[in-house]
Structure 1
Amino acid sequence: MKTKRKKYNYFSNLKYMLSKHWGFDKSYVILQIGLTPLEAAMSVVAAFLPKIVLDCVENKTDFSQLLLKVGLMSVALIALGYLQGVLYNKSWQGRMLARDIMLHRLICNKVMSMDYNNYTYNETRVLREKAWEAIHGWDGSVARFVELNATVASSFFGFSAFTAIIVDCNPWFIPILVLCYGISMAGWMIFQKWKDKMKDKVAEIFLRLHYVTYRSKDFSNAKDVRIYNMSDFLMKKIDKHLDEANGWNILRNNGHYINCMLEDFFKFGVSLGAYIYLIYLKLNSDMTLGDFSLYFGAITGFGQWLSRLVDSISEIISGAHNVDDFRNFLDIEDKMNLGKGEKLPTGKELPCEIELKNLTFLYDEAEKPSVNNISLKINKGEKIAVVGVNGAGKSTLVKLICGLYSASEGQVLINGIDSRLFNRDEYYELFSTLFQDCSLLPATVAKNIALCEEKKIDYEKLRECMSLAGILEKVESLPEKENTLLVREVHEGAVSFSGGELQRLLLARALYKNSPIIILDEPTAALDPIAENDMYLKYSELTKDKTAIYISHRLSSTRFCDRIILLDDGRIIESGTHEELLSLGGKYAEMFETQSKYYREEAVI
C-alpha cells in the first residue's frame, strides 16, 4: 500500500477539530471562547493597579478615594481570577475527556472498520502509531489544538494591549522586541521541521517497542517464556528498543532545551535593556512614579505575552502537523463498497453459489502472487475442502472469498453477482467463519457466542446452538452457566476451556450467526487427528443446508467433502473427490500416503 500523505492547511485542521469538539462537547468550545479575553484583561488590570496607587500617593489623593480605587480593582482582579480558574478547570476536564473518549474512539473505530486488507500493511500500522503518538506524545497537541488557538488569540489580545502602552513610552521598543522574539520563533520552527522529518522513523521505533513489550506481557506466551527461558532474549529486545526510543527522546529534549535557552537569553537581554532605558527616562524627564511603574510592568508583560504568543504559535505549527498525522490515519481510503449495494441472496436464492474467475492476489511488495489466476465454481450447498502445504495460498483464498482481501485481478461472484457490488458490511453477513486464531472476549459465554449486547441475545436460540455444537453440557456445569465469565487475564474467577471445548464454543458462535456460507480455516489445528476428524464430521452434519469451505492440512479429515481442491504455489493443481484424487496417483495421493504412514507408525508406537 502506497498512501499519499496529505498536508492539510491550518484552517482545514482548525475547522476539523472544532467540528469534532463541537459534536462531542459544545461546552468545551464555548469555554475556549470565554477564556480568550479573560487572562489578557487580568494582566492589564494588574499592570494599572500599581500606577493608580502611586499616582494617588504622589498627588496626595484622599485616603478613602485611594482605598475605593484599590478595592474596586482588587475585587475585579479576584473576580476575574476566580472566573478564569473555574473556566480553566472545566476546560481541562473537557480536554481530557476529548482525548480519552472522543479521540481514542475515533482511532479505535477506524481500526475496527477499515478494510482488513488495509490494516495488514505495515504502513498502516506506522500511520496508526503516529496518530496515537499525536494524542499521547510529548506535546499531545491534537487534543489541545482548539485550546492552543484560544491561547494564541488571548496572547494576541495581551500583546496588543501592552503594545499600546509601550508605544506611548517609545514606539522603537516594538520592532526591537519583535525582532528578538522572531529569532527565537525561527529556532522553534527549525526544531519542528526536524521533528517532522523524524516522525516515520520514530513511529517505527515505538511500534517495535510496543509489540515486544505487549508480547512479553501476554498471558498466552507465559508458558513458552518460562519453558524456553525466553526472558533474557525478550529483555535484550526490549532494552534495544528502549535505547532507541531513549536516544530519540534525548535528541528531542536537547533541541527543546537549546531553544528554551535561546528564548530566555533574548528575553533577559531585551528586558535588561528596556529597564536601563526606563531608569534613564525617570532620572532625566518628568515621568511620574506611576508611569514608570506602568511602563516597567508593561515591558515585562509585553515580553511575557510575546513569548507566549511565539510559544503558542510554535505549538500550533507542531499541533497542525500532529493533526495531519491523526487525519492521515483516519482518512485511509477503503476500496470496498461502503455505500448502497446489491441485495443479498435470501429465501430460494440460498444456499449460495460461489464462482471465482481468474482470481489473483499479490501481497504488498511481494514478488509473486499468493493466489495465481484461480477459476473455480462452488455449487449451491456444496462442501469443498481446500488443502495444500503451508504457504500454498489456502488462507489467502478464503479471505478473498469472504471479502477480507480485495483481489488484485479477477472476480468473486455470489450467485452470479460480483462481490464488490455488495455493501461490504452486509456482505460479511453471508459468512460464518472459524479461523485458527479465533479469540475470546473478556465477557460471558453467552456474549461470546451471540457477539451482541445482552438485551439482544435470543437465549432459546443460544441454548439450541450450544446443544447442537455439543457444548451445552459443559456450560450447564459452570457456576453461572451461560453467564459465566471467560478470559482469566481480565476477570478474576473466569473459566478456561480445553482446545476441544473452545472449538465447540466457536462452532456454537458460527451456528448462532446462521449465515448461508460456512468457512473453516484450520480451526482445529491444535486438536489431535481423531478429535479433528470428529469435529469436522460434526461441522458437516450441522451445515448440511449451507455452502461450506473447509481448510485443513490433515487430508484424512476432509474425506467427507463433495470435492477436494489441492493448492500448490497459489494454483489449483488437482480437483476431485477423495477417491478420485487417490486413483489419480498425483500430489494428493502422495501427501495422503505420507500422512497415513505417519499415523500408522504413531498407532504402532
Structure 2
Amino acid sequence: MSITTLLEGLRDALRRRGRVWVHVPRLLRSLWNTSPALAATIILLRLLRAIQPPLVLFIGKLIVDEIILQTATPAPGPTLADWVESGRLNAVAGWLLLEFLLVAAANVLTRAGTFVERILTELHDNALGVALIEQVARLDLLDIETSAAQDRLQRARAQRYIGNPLLSAVLGQAQDGVTLILFVAGLVAYAPLLVFLLLLAVLPTLAGEAHFNAKGYGLNVAVTSERRQIEYIQHVGSAAESAKEIKLFGLGSHLAARFAGLAAGVHLANRDLAARRALWGSLFGAIASLAYYAAYAVVAWRTLSGALSIGDLTFLAGSLLRLNGLFERLILGLTQIASQAQYLDDFFSFMDMRSSMAVPEKPVAFPAPMREGIVFEKVGFRYPGTDRWALRDLSFTLPAGGTLALVGENGAGKTTIVKLLTRLYDPDEGRILVDGIDLRQFALDDLQRHVGAIFQDFVRYHMTAAENIGIGRVERIEDRPRIVDAAQKSVAHELIESLPQGYEQMLGRMFVAGLDLSGGEWQKIAIARAYFRDASLLILDEPTAALDARAEAAIFARFRNLSETSTALLISHRFATVRMADRILVLENGAILESGSHDALMALGGRYAELFELQAEGFQ
C-alpha cells in the first residue's frame, strides 16, 4: 500500500470524524431557540461554576502562605483575643470567609443549574418530539415503509433522546474547559512544561476512545434490524391484544426463546467490544497516572529546593490533581460527545429528508365537486426494489357520482390502485386524471383533503369516541352535530350512545377508564371517520370485514344514499357487498380480467360468476 493511499485514507477518516460535529451547533441552536432566556441563564450559571474551583484553590494557597508567614514571627500573645486584637488574623479570616462563600455558592449554583437545565431540556425534548411527528407526516409512504427506511426511522426515534444527555455533556465540557484554562494559566506561571507533559500523557486515551466510539456506533447501526425484531417480539409477547392467541397456540416459550437468541447475539457483540475497550483504557489510564506523578515529583523537588513556597506547593499539587482529572475528563467527554453526535446524525439526517414526491410549481385546485370523474390511463406501477409489475397497462373510468367495486384475489392489485389514487405513490407509467387533470398537478394536501378512506387495517386510536371520528377532518373535530351524523351513517351512533360516557368515552385500554371494543365495533367507528371527512371521493377497503350481516346491510343502505357529488371506490371479498356497485372490475395480476355490473358479470359466466357462486354455496 502506497503512502498516497495511506494519506488519502487518513484524510477520509478525518473528514468523516469532522462531519460528526456538524450537528452539535445545530443542536445548540435548537436549544437556544426553545427558550433564549433559560439558555442564557444556564450559560451564566455554568460560567460561575467553572470559575469557582480555581478561585477556591488559589485562596487556599493564600491561606497557607498567610499562616506560615504568621507562624514565622513571634505571637502577639497566648490567647485568641490577643491575635484578634493585634489584627494579624484579619487576612486569614477574610480569605476563609471568602472561601466559605465560594463553596456555599457552588452548591446553590449547582442546584439552580440542574433545575433550569431540567426545565429547558424537557421543553427541548418536547419540541423535538413534535418535529419528528411532523417530519413523518411530511414524508411519503415510499420514504418510510421499506425495511431500510423503518430502520432509519427507528434510529431517529431512539436518538431523539440523545439530545438531552448530549446537551448536558456539551455544557459540562464547556464548563470544564473554562476551569481548565484558569488552572493552566496558574500552572504556566510556575511550571509551563508540566502542562505539556500532562497533555501528551492523555493523547493515547483520546485516540483509544475515538477508535472505540466509532466501533460502537458501527455496531449499533449493524444490529438495528435485530433490535427492531427484539422490540417487536417483546411487544407481541406482552401485549394484551395478542395474549389470547399466544396462550391458545402456546407461543410464550417460542417467543421467549427467540427473544433470548436475538438478545444474546447483540449482547455478545457488545460484550466483546466493551472488553477490548476496558483493556486498552486501563493501559492508557496507567500512562496518564504515571505522567501526573512525574509532574508531582517535579513540584515537590522545587519546593524542597526553595524555589516554591508551601502555599505554592498546595496550589500546584491541587492544580495538577485537578488538571489530570480535567484533561482526562475533557478528552473522554469529547470522544463521548463525538460518539453521541454520530447518533445525533441519525436524527438530523432523518429530519433533513425531503419528500420524493414531485410537487407542482403551480398546483391546480382539486375540482369540488367532481363533474366528469376519474380516469386511469394505461397505468403501470412497480413497488421499489422489485422488477415485478403490480399494475400494467391499466385503464378504466370511475364516473363522478358513481360507485366502482374492485374484486380479485390477494395480490391482484386492488390496494395498489388505492395507493396510486390517493397519491401515496406515483405511477411509473401512464397517468391518473380527475376531471381531465393529471393527479400530479394537484397539491398533495389538497388532493388528500378531498379523499376519505377506510382501510382494512384501520388505526384504533386510543382517544374518545368523538375524537376517533373527528380526526377524519381535524379542523372540524369540535363539530359535534357532524360527528353524530357520521356515526349515524356508519351505524355507530347507537353503539356510542350505549357507552358509559357516550361520545366522551375513552376507547381502548391504554389509558385509565378506557373501554375496548370488538373488531366490528371498532370498524363502525372507523367507517364513521371516513364519512365525517365529507370527501369528494370515498374509498372503502374491506369496510365491513368484521361486521355481521345485519350491520353490513344497514351500512350499505346508507351508503347507497351518498349524494350525487360523492364518488365511491369499494374493495371487498364479500359479493353481497360489491353487487350494489354501478360497475365491478375483476382484477388478476394487475390487469382487468372482467368488467361490468353484477348482472352483466353473472350473465357472462366468467371468473366473477364462479367466485360469486362459490361464496353463495358457503351460505347454503
Name the structure 2 match of 1:360.
Answer: 380
Q: Partners in 2 of 1:460 and 1:535 — Cα distance? A: 19
Query: How far 1:287 sits from its partner (Å)?
Result: 2.1
Q: Partners in 2 of 1:39 and 1:178 — Cα distance? A: 23
Amino acid of the residue matched to residue 69 of structure 1?
W
Query: How far 1:89 sits from its partner (Å)?
Result: 3.0
Structure 2 residue corresponding to 1:48, chosen from 33, 52, 58: 58
Query: How far 1:546 sits from its partner (Å)?
Result: 1.4
1:294-309 paired onto structure 2 within 5 Å: 294-309=315-330
1:69-84 paired onto structure 2 within 5 Å: 69-84=95-110
Q: Partners in 1 of 2:266 and 2:123 — Cα distance? A: 28
Name the structure 2 match of 1:594.
Answer: 614
Is 2:285 aligned against 1:235?
no
Query: How far 1:44 sits from its partner (Å)?
Result: 0.7
Amino acid of the residue matched to residue 305 of structure 1?
L
1:436-451 paired onto structure 2 within 5 Å: 436-451=456-471
Q: Report the secondary structure of 1:60's partner residue.
A: helix
The 8 Å contact of residues 32 and 147 in structure 1, kept in 2 or not, is answered as no
1:533-548 paired onto structure 2 within 5 Å: 535-542=555-562, 544-548=564-568
Query: How far 1:234 sits from its partner (Å)?
Result: 1.7
Structure 1 residues 335, 498: closer, same or farther in 2, change over 3 A?
A: closer
Name the structure 2 match of 1:383.
Answer: 403
Q: Partners in 1 of 2:107 and 2:55 — Cα distance? A: 11
Q: Which moved more, 1:353-362 or 1:251-260?
A: 251-260
Amino acid of the residue matched to residue 317 of structure 2?
F
Amino acid of the residue matched to residue 600 of structure 2?
E
1:313-354, Cα deviation, whole Å (9 max, x unpaired): 11221132122111112122212366876343455x435611
Query: How far 1:531 sits from its partner (Å)?
Result: 5.6
Query: How far 1:102 sits from its partner (Å)?
Result: 2.2
Query: How far 1:530 sits from its partner (Å)?
Result: 7.1
The 8 Å contact of residues 163 and 174 in structure 1, kept in 2 or not, is answered as yes
1:241-294, Cα deviation, whole Å (9 max, x unpaired): 222333344245435534542453233212221222222222233421111111
Name the structure 1 match of 2:11.
Answer: none
1:485-540, Cα deviation, whole Å (9 max, x unpaired): 221343435252461x4433333222221101011111222345676466445423
Is 2:309 aligned against 1:288?
yes
Q: Partners in 1 of 2:562 and 2:391 — Cα distance? A: 30
Query: How far 1:236 sits from its partner (Å)?
Result: 1.7
Q: Partners in 1 of 2:296 and 2:538 — Cα distance? A: 82
Query: How far 1:417 sits from its partner (Å)?
Result: 1.8
1:222-261 paired onto structure 2 within 5 Å: 222-258=243-279, 260-261=281-282
Q: Which moved more, 1:311-320 or 1:516-525?
A: 311-320
Q: Report the secondary structure of 1:566's partner residue.
A: strand
1:83-122 paired onto structure 2 within 5 Å: 83-99=109-125, 101-122=126-147
Structure 1 residues 89, 491: closer, same or farther in 2, change over 3 A?
A: closer
Q: Report the secondary structure of 2:254's partner residue.
A: helix
Q: Report the secondary structure of 1:360's partner residue.
A: strand
Is 2:601 aligned against 1:581?
yes
Amino acid of the residue matched to residue 140 of structure 2?
D
Name the structure 1 match of 2:479.
Answer: 458
Q: Partners in 1 of 2:155 and 2:522 — Cα distance? A: 37
Name the structure 2 match of 1:68.
Answer: 94
Q: Partners in 1 of 2:499 and 2:188 — Cα distance? A: 81
Name the structure 1 match of 2:213.
Answer: 192
Amino acid of the residue matched to residue 117 of structure 2?
S
Amino acid of the residue matched to residue 393 of structure 2?
N
The 8 Å contact of residues 56 and 102 in structure 2, kept in 1 or not, is answered as no
The 8 Å contact of residues 351 and 547 in structure 1, kept in 2 or not, is answered as no
* 5+ long unaligned stretches in structure 1: 1-5
Q: Which moved more, 1:28-37 or 1:519-528?
A: 28-37
Structure 1 residues 478, 74: closer, same or farther in 2, change over 3 A?
A: closer
- Pairs aligned (count): 588
Q: Partners in 2 of 1:433 and 1:392 — Cα distance? A: 20
1:459-480, Cα deviation, whole Å (9 max, x unpaired): 2222333333333233333332
1:354-404, Cα deviation, whole Å (9 max, x unpaired): 122232222222230222232222111121111100111111111110122
Name the structure 2 match of 1:128.
Answer: 153
1:13-55, Cα deviation, whole Å (9 max, x unpaired): 1332133222322234213422443233112112212211221
How does the TM-score come out when normalised to structure 2? 0.88
Amino acid of the residue matched to residue 376 of structure 1?
F
Q: Which moved more, 1:148-157 or 1:410-419?
A: 148-157
Structure 2 residue corresponding to 1:23, chosen from 10, 27, 33: 33
Structure 1 residues 524, 468: closer, same or farther in 2, change over 3 A?
A: closer
Name the structure 1 match of 2:450.
Answer: 430
* 5+ long unaligned stretches in structure 2: 1-15, 72-87
How does the TM-score come out when normalised to structure 1? 0.90
Q: Partners in 2 of 1:298 and 1:208 — Cα distance? A: 51
Q: Report the secondary structure of 2:560's partner residue.
A: helix
Q: Partners in 2 of 1:415 and 1:26 — Cα distance? A: 51
Identity of aligned residues (%): 24
Query: How far 1:431 sits from its partner (Å)?
Result: 0.9
1:113-163, Cα deviation, whole Å (9 max, x unpaired): 421232211111111221233244xxx3x2244443333333332222222
Name the structure 2 match of 1:3.
Answer: none
Name the structure 1 match of 2:492.
Answer: 471
- Considering only aligned residues, what root-mean-square deviation do their CA atoms show, in Å? 2.7
Q: Which moved more, 1:309-318 or 1:511-520?
A: 309-318
Q: Partners in 2 of 1:586 and 1:455 — Cα distance? A: 46
Q: Which moved more, 1:285-294 or 1:538-547?
A: 538-547
